[in-house]
């Protein structure tokens, strides 16, 4: 029987072999393999746990080897595998030739868990990622803490949830007869259906009044996963409307859910008792967030906010109050959909396909452009305020929406989207579901995630739309990225109504949301 554990580093992590050798000499326990203090301290916890579980601790000198030896092992998750390996070595003393005969993957097991002095097993982080990595390496049996059992459930894997060391050791005899075990049956969501989470009472858009343009923009953003920026005076309803965005976002597909669940498992944020995350993440970091907190890092290269928002929303409220370095760090992940972290000669790459939603005031005092209030900010201070958002960052935002107080709403907005002024969440979901289903069937991903090459192949315009697009881009001085963004926006608008062809009206609406400044031309 070969026992393995898991070392969580970055997104990938690594399988660690736990080998035990009992040899002559003064009784002692030695741990080799670049183990940190937490792993070395497991010697004492493991000894007490074995004795308190009713077993006899080996009287020989115990050598515990964790390999690969050049990789640092950290955390208390090695307690249980080390204890099980010691017990197995004590009860199955074999010659080296016998051990070689039992080195196949059919006799391998992944073990994770922290021990207390009584032998009880405590939950640890990263179990879901560990099970997936074990499966990739041909290991199909896992012993995990009872509290992590639901998290560890993966198709075609044999999972044993244990509460104490005695149960874990008894599982080894069952694993030797693994052919007689039944694999866990996991119910999977139908990929053809577009599902939404149950609607909470405080998440209904029917209570958001007289903000038709904002609700239309949020609907388009949710339907195509487009980045969005909302700006307006304090108290106009920006944050209120955006925080309800999860109610109109479709649930994750199985493929999307696997990566999100792995990230949250590594971060220790997976909800207790859940096997996978089905709802899209909605992350709202504080304005004081550091560059490391946003991008990720630390000793084990833990995921940051942009990775925790993978396949979901990263909402920056009062975005101008974030540090400039933090805002600029979003540019590359927005373009590549990933973030690479380096630490002590090792590097890891986290997926980071997130939807950026920004809310900000038009100026430091918040009254710039208001008809009923006076802005006390100088032109220089307003310019400095908006310089936090560099041109490359703003160019990656597909939808820009100015929001005013109800008494100051623009007549154009009221007339164009008056039917959205008191629309409900259920009504918004209908067109979003139609658009998402169309995108999954056509290209397997959302429109906003299409590369420029895919845009040229998938999004085709007739002569009238092409001429209208070129004329609008020249008039508004859009960049090449801006033109590509308008095409993707128009495709999403057409998908929402079930239109196979993109019409001139769709191009006009896409241009409207791309260039929308609401009279605040000084800002954008």
Domain spans of the chain, in order of start: 2-180, 201-515
pLDDT of residue 178: 58
pLDDT of residue 26: 87
The answer to whether residues 354 and 313 touch, using CB atoms and an 8 Å cutoff, is yes
pLDDT of residue 411: 44
Confidence check: pLDDT of 191 > 70: no
Per-residue exposure over 5-21, b if at least 16 CB sit within 10 Å of its own CB, e if not: bbbbbbbbbbbbbbbbe
Give pairs for 378-386: CB < 8 Å, separation 24+.
Answer: 379/522, 382/522, 382/523, 383/522, 385/320, 386/320, 386/523, 386/524
pLDDT band with cut points at 50, 70 and 90 for residue 117: very high
DSSP β-ladder status, 141-145 and 158-162:
parallel
On whether the 2-180 domain is CATH 3.30.230.10, my answer is yes
- Tens-digit pLDDT profile for residues 47-97: 999 999 999 999 899 999 999 988 888 878 899 999 999 999 998 875 445
Q: Rounded to an integer, what distance in angstroms lies between the CA atom of residue 17 and that of residue 212? A: 59
SS3 109: strand
Q: Which of 167-181, 275-289, 393-407 is predicted least confidently? A: 167-181
pLDDT band with cut points at 50, 70 and 90 for residue 176: confident
SS3 332: helix
Q: Which of 5-9, 224-228, 305-309, 405-409 is predicted least confidently? A: 405-409
Q: What does pTM read for this prediction?
A: 0.89
Q: Rounded to an integer, what distance in angstroms lies between the CA atom of residue 460 and that of residue 207? A: 38
pLDDT of residue 436: 96
- Tens-digit pLDDT profile for residues 467-494: 999 999 999 899 999 999 999 999 999 9
Place of tokens 């207790």: 272
- Tell which phi-psi region holds residue 423, choosing left (phi > 0), alpha (psi between -120 and 50) or beta: beta
The answer to whether residues 491 and 224 touch, using CB atoms and an 8 Å cutoff, is yes
The per-residue pLDDT of the chain, averaged, comes to 88
12 or 216, higher pLDDT: 216
Confidence check: pLDDT of 189 > 60: no
Confidence check: pLDDT of 188 > 50: no
Place of tokens 């074999």: 94
The answer to whether residues 319 and 327 touch, using CB atoms and an 8 Å cutoff, is yes
CB atoms within 10 A of CB 485: 24
The answer to whether residues 497 and 382 touch, using CB atoms and an 8 Å cutoff, is no
pLDDT of residue 524: 52
pLDDT of residue 511: 95
Q: What is the DSSP letter of 108?
A: E
pLDDT band with cut points at 50, 70 and 90 for residue 149: very high
Confidence check: pLDDT of 41 > 90: no
Confidence check: pLDDT of 143 > 60: yes
pLDDT band with cut points at 50, 70 and 90 for residue 293: very high
The answer to whether residues 350 and 302 touch, using CB atoms and an 8 Å cutoff, is no
The answer to whether residues 227 and 355 touch, using CB atoms and an 8 Å cutoff, is yes
- Rounded to an integer, the average pLDDT of 195-221 is 90
pLDDT of residue 13: 86
304 or 373, higher pLDDT: 304
Superfamily name with CATH number, domain 201-515 = P-loop containing nucleotide triphosphate hydrolases (3.40.50.300)
CB atoms within 10 A of CB 283: 18
pLDDT of residue 484: 95
Axis crossing angle, helix 504-515 with helix 480-496, rounded to the nearest 10: 120
pLDDT of residue 135: 92
Place of tokens 């400039």: 324
Q: Rounded to an integer, what distance in angstroms lies between the CA atom of residue 290 and that of residue 324? A: 11
pLDDT of residue 396: 94
Strand partners, 5: 16
42 or 431, higher pLDDT: 431
211 or 308, higher pLDDT: 308
- Tens-digit pLDDT profile for residues 319-338: 999 999 999 999 999 999 99
Q: Rounded to an integer, what distance in angstroms lies between the CA atom of residue 48 and that of residue 115? A: 9
pLDDT band with cut points at 50, 70 and 90 for residue 417: confident
């Amino acid at each position: 029987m070969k026992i393995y554990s898991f070392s969580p580093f970055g997104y990938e992590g690594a399988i660690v072999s736990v080998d035990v050798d009992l040899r002559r000499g003064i009784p002692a326990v030695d741990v080799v393999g670049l183990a940190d203090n937490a792993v070395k301290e497991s010697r004492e916890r493991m000894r007490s746990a074995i004795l308190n579980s009713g077993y006899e601790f080996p009287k020989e000198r115990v050598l515990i080897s964790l390999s690969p030896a050049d990789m640092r092992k950290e955390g208390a998750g090695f307690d249980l595998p080390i204890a099980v390996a010691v017990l197995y070595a004590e009860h199955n003393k074999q010659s080296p030739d016998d051990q070689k005969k039992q080195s196949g993957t059919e006799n391998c097991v992944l073990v994770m868990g922290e021990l207390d002095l009584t032998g009880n097993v405590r939950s640890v982080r990263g179990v879901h990622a560990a099970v997936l990595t074990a499966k990739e390496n041909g290991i199909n049996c896992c012993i995990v803490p009872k509290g992590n059992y639901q998290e560890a459930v993966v198709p075609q894997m044999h999972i044993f949830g244990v509460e104490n060391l005695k149960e874990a050791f008894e599982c080894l005899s069952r694993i030797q007869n693994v052919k007689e075990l039944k694999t866990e049956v996991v119910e999977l969501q139908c990929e053809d259906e577009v599902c939404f989470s149950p609607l909470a009472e405080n998440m209904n858009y029917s209570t958001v009044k007289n903000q038709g343009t904002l609700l239309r923009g949020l609907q388009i953003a949710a339907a195509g996963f487009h980045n969005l920026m909302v700006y307006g005076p304090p108290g106009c309803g920006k944050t209120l409307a955006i925080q309800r965005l999860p109610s109109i976002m479709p649930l994750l597909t199985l493929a999307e859910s696997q990566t999100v669940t792995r990230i949250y498992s590594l971060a220790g944020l997976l909800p207790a008792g859940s096997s996978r995350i089905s709802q899209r993440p909605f992350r709202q970091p504080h304005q004081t967030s550091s560059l490391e907190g946003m991008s990720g890092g630390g000793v084990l290269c833990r995921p940051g906010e942009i990775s925790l928002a993978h396949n979901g929303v990263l909402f920056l409220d009062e975005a101008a109050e974030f540090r400039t370095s933090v805002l600029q760090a979003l540019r590359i992940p927005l373009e590549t959909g990933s973030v690479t972290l380096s630490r002590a000669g090792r590097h890891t790459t986290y997926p980071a396909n997130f939807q950026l939603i920004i809310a900000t005031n038009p100026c430091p005092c918040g009254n710039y452009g208001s008809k009923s209030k006076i802005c006390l900010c100088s032109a220089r201070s307003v310019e400095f305020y908006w310089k936090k958002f560099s041109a490359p960052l703003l160019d990656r935002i597909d939808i820009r929406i100015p929001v005013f107080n109800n008494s100051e709403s623009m007549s154009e907005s009221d007339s164009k989207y008056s039917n959205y002024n008191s629309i409900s969440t259920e009504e918004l979901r209908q067109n979003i579901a139609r658009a998402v289903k169309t995108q999954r069937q056509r290209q397997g991903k959302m429109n906003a995630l299409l590369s420029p090459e895919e845009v040229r192949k998938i999004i085709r315009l007739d002569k009238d739309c092409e001429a209208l697009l070129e004329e609008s881009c020249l008039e508004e001085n859009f960049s090449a990225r801006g033109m590509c963004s308008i095409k993707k926006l128009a495709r999403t608008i057409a998908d929402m109504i079930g239109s196979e062809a993109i019409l001139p009206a769709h191009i006009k609406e896409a241009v409207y949301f791309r260039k929308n400044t609401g009279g605040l031309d000084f800002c954008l």
